[in-house]
Amino acid sequence: MAKWVYEFGDGAAEGKSEMRDLLGGKGANLAEMANLGLPVPPGFTITTEVCTYFYDHGKTYPPELEAQVNAALEQAGKIAGHVFGDEANPLLVSVRSGSRASMPGMMDTVLNLGLTDSTVEALAKSSGNDRFAYDSYRRFIQMYSNVVLDVDHHLFEDILETFKERKGYSLDTDLTGADWKLMITAYKAKVQEVLGKPFPQDPKAQLWGAIGAVFGSWMNPRAITYRRLQNIPASWGTAVNVQAMVFGNMGETSATGVAFTRNPSTGASELYGEFLINAQGEDVVAGIRTPQNITEAARIEAGSDKPSMETALPEVFAEFLRATELLEKHYRDMQDMEFTVETGKLWMLQTRNGKRTAKASLRIAVEMANDGLITREEAVMRIDPAALDQLLHPTIDPKAERQVVVTGLPASPGAASGEIVFNSDDAEAAKASGRKCILVRVETSPEDIHGMHASEGILTTRGGMTSHAAVVARGMGKPCVSGAGSVRVDYKAGTMTSAGVTFKKGDIITVDGTTGQVIKGAIAMLQPELSGEFATLMEWADGVRRMGVRANAETPTDARVARKFGAEGIGLCRTEHMFFEGDRIVAVREMILADDEAGRRKALAKLLPIQRADFAELFEIMSGLPVCIRLLDPPLHEFLPHTDDEIAEVATSLGVSEDKLRSRASELHEFNPMLGFRGCRLAIAFPEIAEMQARAIFEGAIEAKKKTGAMVTPEIMVPLVFGKTELDLVKASIDAMAKAVETETGDKVPYSVGTMIELPRACLLAAEIAESAEFFSFGTNDLTQTGLGISRDDAASFLGPYTAKGILASDPFVTIDQRGVGELVEIGIARGQKTRPAIKLGICGEHGGDPASIHFCEKVGLTYVSCSPFRVPIARLAAAQAALAVKSKS
């Protein structure tokens, strides 16, 4: 006969904590606590399989269930010394939902079930406490009516409030037994009025009503939405726990409370929690009365004048302390517990691994490993890499009061305050005069790079999580709120307006890129702490990591941040970013708009010393670590002048008319620039560009060596090839330039030439490409665009429905599409290694900093991942976890 019900109580249980899938988290842990000999009120768990059965069979139960529930009820009653439904000695129970993963949206717990007009009299008599009995009954009527019968709880609260006012009472505890009796009459009348039928007076009917409501709540809209967001399958089902009641509302030696074995916000190893004397259930969190501290130390720190549990109930406290220590040792993790004290006797009602802040999770993992409770590898596995993000940026002091103006998308984490500027030049001017600013734009473009660099944070009113502003800000490690659609920016007037409030240029605001909030004025911040437990854990992670971790960096600031965060080199230096700054853009435009080679060479000659200095500085900072430089990649149109002023400036510099320049610019216009004149195509059409860049790299390396004594080995990377011939042509001019520089200077720079693999054809022809390429770096951004035929800049409008409908598991620009793009990568690796077994394999682009994608990189055996500097610690930890996961599978 199928077993649908598992009993627990009296120091034993049929279940255990490993049976979470069958019993739900709450049920499995109640069983485990009973097995550990802790005081758990007896009861039973109806399994998640019953829930599945229920929905597979038109909302009916397995035929054996009723008999099994009756038997378990009888057994629980025997242990507790009561009988369910008995008029003289009634057993009362709680009915509690509990699925595998704790899930908001499920039915709230019903307490005191089994009370009726007659059993309440028995309870009053046996306890000798009228007030307690009628208080319990009115709670039951209110809870049951609300969660099972769907009667609005406000109706009951109104009745109670009106009564308290009339009597001049301020607290619920002021009501006497006789008062509660009046309330019960009024509550029952209200139920009759709303439902047209009386409150159920048969305990069995009450019980099955509550069980049905728990299973019913599995399919309520709130639960369904939550499951969709958390990727929890509907097939899991929920369990139902039925448990003998214990009463925290029996008087001054009774209480109820919640506690953590460690402080969940700081991680400090101290019992932390709250309780209330003479209270029941969730009174502690409901805020009806101010809860009291559990320990005396916490009471003193909080400056509370209400006694702690340690002094009010010293014996129970001592027993509770032992139970919490036992549970933490047993589960080997910080526990979040619920308990009740009934006339001086402790009862444990729940335990689970406690939620905690990122900071606390670091401290707890490191301290537990140091104490030998867990291994260092387990400590590494316990930290969510994504949560580290919270720690790497300044954050708003949680105690500070926030005056939120608007909430947009949390596009890049951290927070910053500054005065509003509406364009990049103003941002630079503010920075130059030592003032902090926030760049506010409708959206940003590559021309705003210098303004973004100069500002503390960015706010845009348009664009999503992968908009230009979002991607660049994340790369720079600057806070960004994007897509704040309700803000209206008026560039001309120099104002922004939100919900009727207008801000002018120069007004101070704060952007919180972690929450998406825009806040009026400046606000207190907490600075990131990279020492202590953080440093220890990162060291442990590095000890188990196989892949290297590099950073995508081109500016000296980025490179320094990257090293501070532990990057082992630069995996992607995007040379075009160097072209946007200051006056360089004018020379770049000259080069692009020149009509012949001579004109281009003249402009390139102006750029050479600038690029050389850029590289020299970068090499100096990286002092001997590998630096991978990508030759010019973006479509030329990104550099074209737009405004009349810009055109006039370039025309003067080139000595041509503005009209001529305008027509040259329109010749360069492209319909699909991302599939157009870009990448190695530039170097093939205009070899002199690659030559200049190669010269700058070699000469920069020699210059840096003179300063640091360490010779870097530049890795020169050719973008967007789809076959070997393209690479060969560009490589030939790089090799020629290497010889030329060697002849001129007498210094030989060791270097390698490789390629981005970012087109499907390049993956397929990787064997041939590897004949010339000394390394591959998978450019998974472009490989995703070309593999799925989705332009990243245009994806926002349909990716939402695509992920909602389950066509794509997640945004493929955030987490690599393993099935498709991933297979292209695997093909590229396999074919490349066939030709060149030791070929160096990297990945650059957004995926290099995404934990799930990093896991994939480990699985397919990449040499290193490269990500934005601020994500380096996340990548180090994720790579360590991936290595441990792959190791444990093999």
Residue 234 half-sphere exposure toward CB, CA atoms < 13 A: 16
Q: Is 74 helix (H, G, I), strand (E, B) or coil?
A: helix
Q: At what angle do helices 584-593 and 658-667 cross, to 10 degrees?
A: 70
Q: Are 530 and 876 in contact (CB under 8 A)?
A: no
Which residues touch 50 (CB under 8 Å, ≥6 apart)?
4, 61, 62, 65, 215, 237, 239, 240
**Shortest distance, CB of residue 35 to ligand ADP, whole angstroms?**
18
Residue 103 or 440: the one with the smaller Cβ distance to ligand ADP is 103
**Shortest distance, CB of residue 502 to ligand ADP, whole angstroms?**
44
CA dist., res. 386 & res. 390, Å (int)? 8
3 state SS for 446-506: HHHHHHHHHCCEEEECCCCCCCHHHHHHHHHCCCEEECCCCCEEECCCCEEEECCEEEECC
Considering only 129, 256, 455, 853, the residue that binds ligand ADP (CB under 6 A) is 256
Token output for 154: 């406000």
**799 exposed, middle or buried (CB, 10 Å; 0-12, 13-18, 19+)?**
buried
Known catalytic membership, residue 680 = no
Binding range to ligand ADP, per CB under 6 A, among 241-249, 318-326, 595-603, 858-866: 241-249
Binding range to ligand ADP, per CB under 6 A, among 54-62, 244-252, 470-478, 804-812: 244-252
What sign for the dihedral angle of Cα 597, 602, 608, 610? Answer: negative
Task: Considering only residues 321 through 380, tell me which ones interact with ligand ADP, judged by CB under 6 A.
Answer: 338, 340, 349-350
Considering only 148, 175, 245, 878, the residue that binds ligand ADP (CB under 6 A) is 245
Binding range to ligand ADP, per CB under 6 A, among 210-218, 242-250, 434-442, 604-612: 242-250
Residue 282 or 384: the one with the smaller Cβ distance to ligand ADP is 282
Binding range to ligand ADP, per CB under 6 A, among 152-160, 239-247, 635-643, 792-800: 239-247
Tell me, residue by residue from 2 to 41, as one string, x for binding to ligand ADP by CB under 6 A and - for no binding: ---------------------------------------x
Token output for 292: 């009291």
Binding range to Mg ion, per CB under 5 A, among 150-158, 179-187, 344-352, 495-503: 344-352
Binding range to ligand ADP, per CB under 6 A, among 59-67, 237-245, 384-392, 677-685: 237-245
Residue 96 contact among Mg ion, ligand ADP, none, beta carbon within 5 to 8 Å by kind: ligand ADP
**Shortest distance, CB of residue 95 to ligand ADP, whole angstroms?**
8
**Shortest distance, CB of residue 651 to Mg ion, whole angstroms?**
32
Under DSSP, the state recorded for 196 is S
**Shortest distance, CB of residue 719 to ligand ADP, whole angstroms?**
54
Binding range to ligand ADP, per CB under 6 A, among 165-173, 238-246, 313-321, 545-553: 238-246
Return the closest-CA partner of residue 61 out of 71, 48, 75, 51.
51
Please report, to the nearest 10 degrees, the dihedral formed by the alpha carbons of residues 753, 756, 761, 763 taken in order: 90
Q: Is residue 96 part of the contact set for ligand ADP (CB under 6 A)?
A: yes
Considering only 17, 350, 510, 786, the residue that binds Mg ion (CB under 5 A) is 350
Distances (CA, A) of 604 to 262, 395, 595, 683: 62, 43, 14, 13
Q: Is residue 246 part of the contact set for ligand ADP (CB under 6 A)?
A: yes
Which residues touch 382 (CB under 8 Å, ≥6 apart)?
333, 361, 365, 374
Considering only 29, 243, 777, 863, the residue that binds ligand ADP (CB under 6 A) is 243
**345 exposed, middle or buried (CB, 10 Å; 0-12, 13-18, 19+)?**
middle
Residue 282 contact among ligand ADP, Mg ion, none, beta carbon within 5 to 8 Å by kind: ligand ADP
**Shortest distance, CB of residue 446 to Mg ion, whole angstroms?**
14
Residues 107-118 as b or e (16 or more Cβ within 10 Å = b)? bbbbbbbbbbee
CA dist., res. 279 & res. 277, Å (int)? 6
Q: Is residue 428 part of the contact set for Mg ion (CB under 5 A)?
A: no
Token output for 883: 């290595």
Return the closest-CA partner of residue 247 out of 85, 111, 144, 87.
111
Considering only 179, 367, 782, 817, the residue that binds Mg ion (CB under 5 A) is 782
Which residues touch 48 (CB under 8 Å, ≥6 apart)?
21, 22, 23, 24, 99, 100, 236, 237, 238, 239
CA dist., res. 814 & res. 795, Å (int)? 12
Distances (CA, A) of 292 to 173, 258, 261: 16, 11, 17
Q: Are 550 and 568 in contact (CB under 8 A)?
A: yes
Tell me, residue by residue from 419 to 458, as one string, x for binding to ligand ADP by CB under 6 A and - for no binding: ----------------------------------------
Residue 782 contact among Mg ion, ligand ADP, none, beta carbon within 5 to 8 Å by kind: Mg ion
Residue 349 contact among Mg ion, ligand ADP, none, beta carbon within 5 to 8 Å by kind: ligand ADP
H or E element that contains 716: strand 714-718
Catalytic site residue from 51, 480, 844, 857: 844
Q: What is the largest CA-CA distance in the chain?
A: 106
Tell me, residue by residue from 279 to 298, as one string, x for binding to ligand ADP by CB under 6 A and - for no binding: --xx----------------
Q: How many residues bind Mg ion (CB under 5 A)?
A: 5
Residue 293 contact among ligand ADP, Mg ion, none, beta carbon within 5 to 8 Å by kind: none
Residue 337 or 839: the one with the smaller Cβ distance to ligand ADP is 337
**Shortest distance, CB of residue 350 to Mg ion, whole angstroms?**
5
**Shortest distance, CB of residue 498 to Mg ion, whole angstroms?**
36
The CB-nearest residue to Mg ion is: 782
Return the closest-CA partner of residue 679 out of 638, 643, 644.
638
Catalytic site residue from 468, 577, 847, 855: 468
Known catalytic membership, residue 468 = yes
Considering only 29, 48, 94, 444, the residue that binds ligand ADP (CB under 6 A) is 94
Contacting positions for ligand ADP (CB under 6 A) = 41, 94, 96, 109, 111, 243-246, 256, 281-282, 338, 340, 349-350
Contacting positions for Mg ion (CB under 5 A) = 338, 350, 758, 779, 782
Residues noted as catalytic? 468, 844
